[in-house]
Structure 1
Amino acid sequence: MIVGTAGHIDHGKTTLVRALTGVDTDRLKEEKARGISIELGYAYAPLANGDVLGFIDVPGHEKLVHTMAAGASGIDFGLLVVAADDGVMPQTREHLAILALLGVTRGAVALTKTDRADDARQAAVRAEIAALAAGTFLQGAPVFGVCASAAGDEGAAALKAHLHEQAQAMPQRGRDGLFRLAVDRVFTLPGHGTVVTGTAHAGEVRAGDEAAGLLLMPAGTRVRVRGIHAQNQPSETGVAGQRCALNLAGIDKNAIARGDWIADERCFLPSRHVDVALTLLASADAPVRAWSPLHVHIGAARHVAHAVPLSAESIGAGQSGWVQLVFDEPVCAMPGDRYIVRNAQATRTVGGGRVLDPNAPDRKRRSTARLQWLRALSDMLDGGSLRPVLEQAALGLDDAALQRLTGQPVRSVQAPEGALWIEARTEQAPRTLILAAHWDALRARIEQALASVHQGAPDEPGPD
């Protein structure tokens, strides 16, 4: 399990992580001089069952929310940190909104700096936290009073025990998907070369696997993994849900940046047009209209895009709808990926949602057929079956499209009832999955067209 901290600046997130793990996640000289986190920090703690609990410590400053979002994209458990003397503050609210928009469903609250507040003040802040958490994934979550700077603090010990219990009870993520890791840090290690770190969103990677078919995306540069650290331990494999450090062969660190992906070559087809489901927060400062500029955070990346509402003329605060995001440069995403958006000035988180079609067209994007396709994708993501999208795919879907839609190797794709595989005429060409009803309709059209040709020219051998 990966725990991500969240909360306002100077509410004690880094001190709390140190109390829970013994690791100081502030590694930069400037961070130690200023006493605040500037970059993402990482710490790990062993569990009784042999697993390792990972922590991502995020900065709390309002100008560093983009860094926070990069770290939060891969967490399993949100740990909201609220100082007892300050109470709920602006970034407390924004960070909680970000976690909710990114689909985090499990969490707890740490009420820190309890040595600076009397019982009445602590009770008042607990009431603030309860009001803030109402209607979110933290509603009813435990609140641990903590004085993290005190050795042997009982609150920190109780929180640590709770996190360990939650981690050991959490089911393992499946390993059968196509591997992809969102890069949030890249550096050079003497004697080893280029290393990237990030959270594995899906699949499994093996050190030294020459046939893995991994690419640096969106550049499309082929890479090879020669060494892996998973959850801060040397490993032959890295799997979905783990923090991984990948030692890459044959590529310079300057060719890689935060926000890139190390991914199976079948995952992505980079695109400038991405159709998404968008929900604006009730606190959004403006509606989203045609060509509204937005800062989009997806995976570990941050991009600028313009929004084109699809299901309505505009989307107001507290409303939801479908939108096409038009980016300045090609981006990588898969259906179901979560994202957040900030306003044009990048000063406020205004909403977020999930990706529907990462390879959307730039024409006829609001046609009836397109909206039916988006509804089918939404139904697929909700129910897990390919049937809704196959109903909208009159010509079926080939292997490559199926793998990009499902994130699964084609051998793992389950054909729904009433669908059949059409084998290609050559070994190099992909197969096609199509509903039998669509296949029969295509065959009937072909037979009708042939009959018309022969009726009009009975002496001709037929079309070539």
Structure 2
Amino acid sequence: MYIVGTSGHIDHGKTSLIRALTGTDCDRLPEEKEREMTIDIGFASIDYPRFGTVSIIDVPGHERFIRNMVVGAWGIDLALLVVAVDDGWMPQTEDHFRVLQLLGVERLIAVLNKTDIADEEMISFVEEEVREKLEATRFAGSDVMKVSSKTGTGIEELREAIVVNLRKLTKASNASKPYLFIDRVFASKGYGTVITGTLKNGIFQEDETVQILPVKKEARIKRIESHYTALQEGNPSQRTALNLSGISVDEVKRGYVVVRDNFFTGSNDIIAGIQLLDTKKEIKNNLGIEVLIGTTAVKGKMILLDEVDSMEFPARIKLEEPWFTYPGQPFVMTSPGGHRIIGGGRVLLPEFHSRNQKKLVKGAVADFANWNRDRIVEFIFSVYQWMKRETAYALFPESRKSLDKVIQSLAEKGTIQVLNDYIVLTDYCNSSISLAVDVINKGVGLNLAEISHGASLNPEFARLIMPIILMNHTVIEKDGRYFAGDAITEDALSVGKKKILQQLLQEGAGGMELDKLKDDVVKKDVRDLVKLGFIVSLDGNILYHHQVYEDLKGKIMSLFDDREKIMVTDAKDATGGLSRKYIIPLLNRVENDGLIKRLGDFRIKV
């Protein structure tokens, strides 16, 4: 199914047009009947024998009810922009037209109404005016239909044009994550809580468990209806009524969201791409605004990220209360009270985290108004720089299959890399590797924590890129420590380090004690040689040349050639009578190497 919605200036005949198309009077409120003015949204439908049922939404045209206009317009697939030929293009025509663009409505038909009360010259003049308005936008080339709701002239042709345009729409997916912004709530006798709205992005089924945001309460779908017809499942772009159990009428209201697989992020601090309607003169930091998003309105302030020098710019929006949004979600921005449209835009980041994000956003939002879903996904990856694949699945409204296609495409272009279960921006990956390699080259035998700290990288991310570093750079890993490739050879050592090794080799089993060294430079060289493996530390203090240690270890292990267990005295005799000060730390080190194990007073071979 698809959603067709009216838009246009007050008294241009939107409601009467729907009555002519469907036979339904959308003005349902007594006040609307009395004032002959649409105040809230109304609903009707057209049944096409070979196409199916098309939902029609009527929206108010008066400037005081712009909030209600957006409530009806957000889910429209095809807009009927109604212009009375005796009046022409009026202020609310312009406002509604801009709202349709801001909300990303895909197709539009301009309907010139009231042709029965205007002559041909006036009709031609208004037609030319309307075509000029359309020409400068993405609705250029849209159909312009001439009708009279009163006499029925052109109504049948309009019905046919609606189907032609609907057939050209992007087909709605059943495989994504369904959601419904609530626009009506009421209690039905014998049924309980009923909510209505336009279902998008997937299907809801009877007996499914859904979640209501922002209250985060679960409910069960007892019954589904569309235009008074019971259904087993609701389909995307369909006016849908859900009878819910597990939640009362008092717990839900217009503006709330029904989801099955939640991809919305709750926050009162978002980053958005802003499009102004006319002028940037009134834009200032901390400007009070009202954000019309989905079927709700939330007050807030707009915080500028930089000097505003165009009609499109990124900004931070601080809402007075947390709300749930997703990347790419369109919205309309009005003055407080909702009487005057300032502009609109799209949610870029549903939750603002850091100044670093602000810097990345400022350089990456050119032409955001024309971004498709793939570009929005790419933008999120560019700002987050790296994230778990599961995090990405939970952030976007697309199905896993759809998102995997985008990820594959971005990987093939070289924009991102997929490392294990992570998605990493290629530029960030390369720069991080360079930083980590530089830290490794400047240090000696650094562990992962030291490398991540030195390169200012997340430890988990540092762990993620180490296999790439080991594969593509002259870096060697030994016992959890990382060395520059040429630092592992004795020939590459400094003169001072070579001198220390020579002295240790001469000392033999007598070794060296670290706490007796006075020179800080020598101490540092000794610690570096321990990391490199040229010196073996027994207990953090007694030091052996690695060849001496291997010789002593070999003598101890040879004892097991003719016995299953040894005592300390056996090891002492085998190593030339080492004192207890040396033999105990030596045995402990051999045990740490995993070669022997202590059992009481004995050591056994592992």
**TM-score by shorter chain over 0.5:** yes
- TM-score tier after normalising by the smaller chain length: 0.7 to 0.9
Match for residue 240 of structure 1?
236
Q: Mind listing any 5+ residue stretches in structure 2 that lack a counterpart?
A: 430-460, 471-475, 483-526, 541-591, 594-606
Q: Quote the residue 2:308 is aligned against.
A: 314
Counterpart selection for 1:301 from 286, 296, 301: 296
The CA deviation at 1:173 is: 0.5
Counterpart amino acid of 1:323? A
* Residues 65-80 of structure 1 mapped to structure 2, 5 A cutoff: 65-80=66-81
Q: Summarize the Cα distance change of 1:160–1:124 in structure 2 as closer, same or farther, 3 Å threshold.
A: same
- With 233-242 and 163-172 compared, the bigger mean Cα shift is at 163-172
Asked whether the 8 Å contact 1:84–1:111 carries over to 2, the reply is yes
Aligned residues of 2:73 and 2:100 also touching (Cα < 8 A): yes
Q: Distance in 2 between matches of 1:112 and 1:175?
A: 36
Counterpart position of 1:451: 481
Amino acid aligned to 1:396: M
Quick check: 1:290–1:313 contact (8 Å CA) kept in 2? no
Deviation per residue, 1:269-305 (Å, 9 max, x gap): 3101111111111x24744322111111111111111
In 2, the alpha carbon distance for the partners of 1:434 and 1:378 equals 25
> How far 1:172 moved relative to its partner?
2.6
Q: For residues 355-412 of structure 1, give each alpha carbon's deviation from its aligned partner in whole angstroms, at most 9, with x where no partner exists.
A: 1110112x4266534546878999985535856654655553251x212432235465
State whether residues 148 and 156 of structure 1, in contact with CA within 8 Å, keep that contact through their aligned partners in structure 2.
Answer: yes
Could you say if the C-alpha distance between residues 121 and 235 of structure 1 is closer, same or farther in structure 2, counting changes exceeding 3 Å?
A: same
Summarize deviations over 1:113-168 as a string: whole Å, max 9, x none: 11221222222222222232231243332222211122xx2311111111123234
Question: Aligned pair count?
Answer: 443
Residues 280, 159 of structure 1: alpha-carbon distance in 2 compared, 3 angstrom cutoff = same
Residue 328 of structure 1 is aligned with which of 309, 320, 345? 320
With the length of structure 2 as denominator, give the TM-score of the two structures: 0.67
Matches within 5 A, 1:396-435: 396-399=387-390, 401-410=391-400, 413-414=403-404, 415-416=407-408, 417=411, 419-420=417-418, 422=420, 432-434=422-424
**Equivalent in the alignment of 1:186:** 185
Q: Which moved more, 1:383-392 or 1:89-98?
A: 383-392
Selected match of 1:220 from 191, 202, 216: 216
Aligned 8 A contact 2:226 2:238 in 1: yes
**Partners in 1 of 2:369 and 2:61 — Cα distance?**
34
Displacement of 1:197 after TM fit?
0.9
- In the other structure, the counterpart of 1:90 is 91
**1:108 alignment counterpart:** 109
Q: Deviation string for 1:203-248 (max 9, x for gaps)?
A: 2211112xx4x21101111111111123553211112222211111
CA distance in structure 2 between the aligned counterparts of 1:315 and 1:267, rounded to whole angstroms: 34
Counterpart in 2 of 1:255? 251
Alignment partner, residue 364 of structure 1: 355
For 1:162 and 1:390, the matched residues in 2 are separated by 41
Call closer, same or farther: CA 1:392–1:23 in 2, change over 3 Å: closer
- 2:52 corresponds in structure 1 to 51
On the 8 A contact 2:107/2:165 being kept in 1, the answer is no
Q: 1:196 to 1:432 in 2, by over 3 A?
A: same
CA contact (8 A) 1:379 1:388 kept: no
Distance in 1 (alpha carbons) for counterparts of 2:402 and 2:479: 37
Cα distance in 2 between the residues matched to 1:377 and 1:271: 22
Instruction: State the alpha-carbon separation in 1 of the partners of residues 80 and 367 from structure 2.
Output: 35
Q: Hey, what's the Cα distance between the residues in 2 that align with 1:59 and 1:187?
A: 21
Cα distance in structure 2, aligned partners of 1:448 and 1:348? 67
The change in CA–CA distance for 1:448 and 1:18 in structure 2 (over 3 A counts) is: farther
TM-score calculated relative to the size of structure 1: 0.86
Q: SS of the counterpart of 1:270? A: strand
Shift of 1:345: 5.2
State the alpha-carbon separation in 1 of the partners of residues 374 and 185 from structure 2: 37
**One-letter identity of the residue aligned with 2:180:** L
Aligned counterpart, 1:130: 131
- CA gap 1:276/1:394 in 2 versus in 1, 3 angstroms: closer
Identify if the C-alpha distance between structure 1 residues 265 and 97 changes in structure 2 by more than 3 Å, giving closer, same or farther. Answer: same
Residues 3 and 76, structure 1, Cα contact 8 Å, conserved in 2: yes
Q: Which amino acid aligns with 2:21?
A: L
Change (3 A) 1:455 1:395: farther
Superposed CA deviations along residues 85-126 of structure 1, whole A, max 9, x for unmatched, are 122211111110110111123111111111221222222222
SS at match of 1:154: coil
The aligned counterpart of 1:10 is 11
- What amino acid is aligned across from residue 107 of structure 1 in structure 2? L
Task: Find out whether 1:383 has 2:413 as its counterpart.
Answer: no
Higher alpha-carbon deviation: 188-197 or 227-236: 227-236
Q: 1:340 aligns with which of 324, 332, 336?
A: 332
Residues 256, 286 of structure 1: alpha-carbon distance in 2 compared, 3 angstrom cutoff: farther
Residue 425 of structure 1 is matched in structure 2 by none
Q: Structure 1 pair 412/366, CA: closer, same or farther in 2 (3 Å)?
A: closer
> What amino acid is aligned across from residue 192 of structure 2 in structure 1?
G
**Is 2:198 the partner of 1:208?**
no
List runs of 5+ in structure 1 lacking aligned partners.
Answer: 423-430
Match of 1:428 in 2: none
> In the aligned structure 1, how far is the partner of 2:357 from the partner of 2:392?
23
Q: Is the 8 A contact 1:377 1:389 kept in 2?
A: no
SS in structure 1 of the partner of residue 106 of structure 2 = coil
Q: Quote the offset at 1:325 in angstroms.
A: 0.9
Deviates more, 1:447-456 or 1:55-64: 447-456
Structure-1 separation of matches of 2:356 and 2:194: 40
Partners of 1:295 and 1:341 within 8 A in 2: yes
Rate the CA distance shift 1:15–1:376 in 2: closer, same or farther, 3 A: closer
Rounded to whole Å, the distance in 2 between the matches of 1:31 and 1:200 is 26
Residues 448 and 304 of structure 1, relative CA distance in 2, 3 Å threshold: farther
Amino acid across the alignment from 1:300: T
Measure, in 2, the Cα distance between the counterparts of 1:449 and 1:346.
64
CA contact (8 A) 1:105 1:137 kept: no
Residue deviations 1:323-360, cap 9 Å, x none?
Answer: 11110111111111111111245332121111111011
Q: CA RMSD in A?
A: 3.1
Measured in 2, the distance between the counterparts of 1:236 and 1:326 equals: 41
Task: Give 1 or 2: higher helix fraction.
Answer: 2
Identify the range of structure 1 (177-186 vs 390-399) with the bigger mean alpha-carbon deviation.
Answer: 390-399
Which residue does the alignment assign to 1:441? Answer: 465
Cross-structure match for 1:35 = 36
The equivalent residue for 2:283 is: 288
Task: Output the amino acid matched with 2:242.
Answer: L
Check 1:193–1:120 CA distance in 2 against 1; reply closer, same or farther (3 A cut): same
SS of the aligned residue for 1:455 comes to: helix
Q: Contact conserved, 1:52 with 1:231, CA < 8 A, in 2?
A: no
In 1, distance between residues paired with 2:371 and 2:385? 17
| Distance 1:171-1:407 versus aligned 2 partners, 3 A rule | closer
Change (3 A) 1:448 1:333: farther
Is the partner of 2:284 in helix, strand or coil? coil
